[in-house]
Amino acid sequence: MKFLVITYGCQMNVRDSEAVTALLMRQGYERAEGEADADIIVINTCSVRGKAEAKALGKLGLLVADSRRNYPDRVIGVMGCMVQRLGEELFKKVPGLGFGIGTHALSRLPLVLQEVFEGKAPVLDVDEDDDPEALTGHVEGNLSAYVNILLGCDRRCTYCIVPHVRGHEWSRPADSVVAEVGELVAQGVREVTLLGQSVMNYGRRNAVWPEGSTSAGGYETPFPRLLEAVDAVVGIERVRFTSGHPSGCTTELVRAMSELPTVCEHLHLPCQSGSDPILARMRRGYTSDQFRQAARALQAAVPGVALSTDIIVGFPGETGEDFERTRAFMAEIGFDNAFIFKYSPRSGTPAAEWPDDVSDEEKMRRNQVLLEDQTRRVEAINRALVGQDVNVLVEGPSLRNAARWSGRTRTNKVVVFDPVPGVERGNCVDVTVDRVTATTLYGGVTS
């Protein structure tokens, strides 16, 4: 029996899709090449914006119709955040589904499938009693891997649906995280990204370290301690983590980022807005000045650090002046990358009760302005790299042109270069940059 998982949404969903893929393979299911040879298709869904849900619903509608006509025995199922949000309503929106499985039930996917095959469709499982340690499997053959360290979110940003669909913060024990990284390295993984919605909150709600254990580097808070322990895993080349929050950018975290050799000079630090009244109404838990202090501390202690961010335009009540403050703030911080989103009201969140008073046209305009600024900014940042050597984790032939190879810098920039004898996928090499665009650095391997 062959299955296909199609993923929408953030890195957590990418990770969940991989974990259920590994789980199903352990149960004897095989991966399909594409939709045509799949007996089971699972869509992993995201609820963060209306558009994300519309896209998944559209895809599901098409898949159900196509399966009815051409593959009557095929099972179409849904997993993830949208299942958690909609529950039974999902089956009304898309009649003909085989199952829906929520964010806290994924380890039961084989049982749910069994029920579907026994004729019980549609089966819904949105119970919250999953065992996260049953979901640590990975698919072999990758250079980079995501590792969950903190599930859920206890912040309540007023626009955000994530806490509703992902539940409370819970941190995995440090020793199981470190063991998972060790297994990944044994499978050939060179780079890990530690995942949590507010990842620096790791170990804040539940104990993660054995009582009485200490850190060699004198780290006292759980997250920098975890970075130290993951850095110490023999064979790991690069460690990243996402998403950051200014409150977690403590002296200790900054020290860990500057001291630990595998921890990359890269941090995703969503700022959402540069205007204090908007930040307060978003309930982000920092002011623009606190964000600035966090960014400056990192930039001072970690030379060349690349900061990326998320921005929401058109939040309720965002005036032209608020927007210009965000624009100026982004220029001041000098982000290397920015994901810009148009505000989308999510029912059940406090902001959804407020008038969505910035027109879609104006949201679009603000989005466009920030994107253009950002492209110019990153071009200038990248131009400054011409003539310099950057360290690249070699991924192999580039997607666009197989005659050239590609990889990423420690700052997470894509580098394209000519292959040279003796350099293989998984190696780290220095590349001298000779040309750049906003998205790519080009160069040659330093001899």
C-alpha–C-alpha distance, residues 78 and 44, integer Å: 6
Choosing from 344, 382, 398, 409, the residue that interacts with ligand SAH (CB under 6 A) is 344
C-alpha–C-alpha distance, residues 135 and 180, integer Å: 11
Give me the sheet containing 266-268, strands edge to edge: 266-268, 306-313, 337-342
Position 417 contacts ligand SAH (CB under 6 A): no
Position 412 contacts ligand F3S (CB under 6 A): no
Choosing from 56, 63, 97, 157, the residue that interacts with ligand SF4 (CB under 6 A) is 157
Position 10 contacts ligand F3S (CB under 6 A): yes
Position 351 contacts ligand SF4 (CB under 6 A): no
What is the rounded end-to-end Cα distance, in angstroms, of the chain? 49
227 sits in the region (left: phi over 0; alpha: psi -120 to 50; else beta) called: alpha
Position 256 contacts ligand F3S (CB under 6 A): no
Shortest Å, Cβ 166 to ligand F3S: 5
What are the beta bridge partners of residue 446? Answer: none
Choose between 168 and 435: whose C-beta lies nearer to ligand SF4.
168
Q: Which two tokens stand for residue 99?
A: 């199952």
Choose between 160 and 257: whose C-beta lies nearer to ligand SAH.
160
Position 337 contacts ligand F3S (CB under 6 A): no
Shortest Å, Cβ 310 to ligand SAH: 3
Q: Which residues contact 346 (CB under 8 A, 6 or more apart)?
A: 47, 48, 49, 50, 159, 160, 161, 352
Give the closest residue to 213 by CA, choosing from 201, 222, 205: 222
Shortest Å, Cβ 160 to ligand F3S: 9
Choosing from 3, 4, 5, 9, the residue that interacts with ligand F3S (CB under 6 A) is 9
Binding mask 117-156 for ligand SF4 (x = CB under 6 A): ------------------------------------x-xx
Position 13 contacts ligand F3S (CB under 6 A): yes
**Options 9-17, 126-134, 300-308, 329-337: segment touching ligand F3S (CB under 6 A):** 9-17
Position 162 contacts ligand SF4 (CB under 6 A): yes
DSSP letter string over 313-341?
A: ES-TT--HHHHHHHHHHHHHHT-SEEEEE
Say if residues 318 and 365 touch (Cβ distance below 8 Å).
no
Residues that bind ligand F3S in the complex, under the rule CB under 6 A = 9-10, 12-13, 46-48, 81, 161-162, 165-166
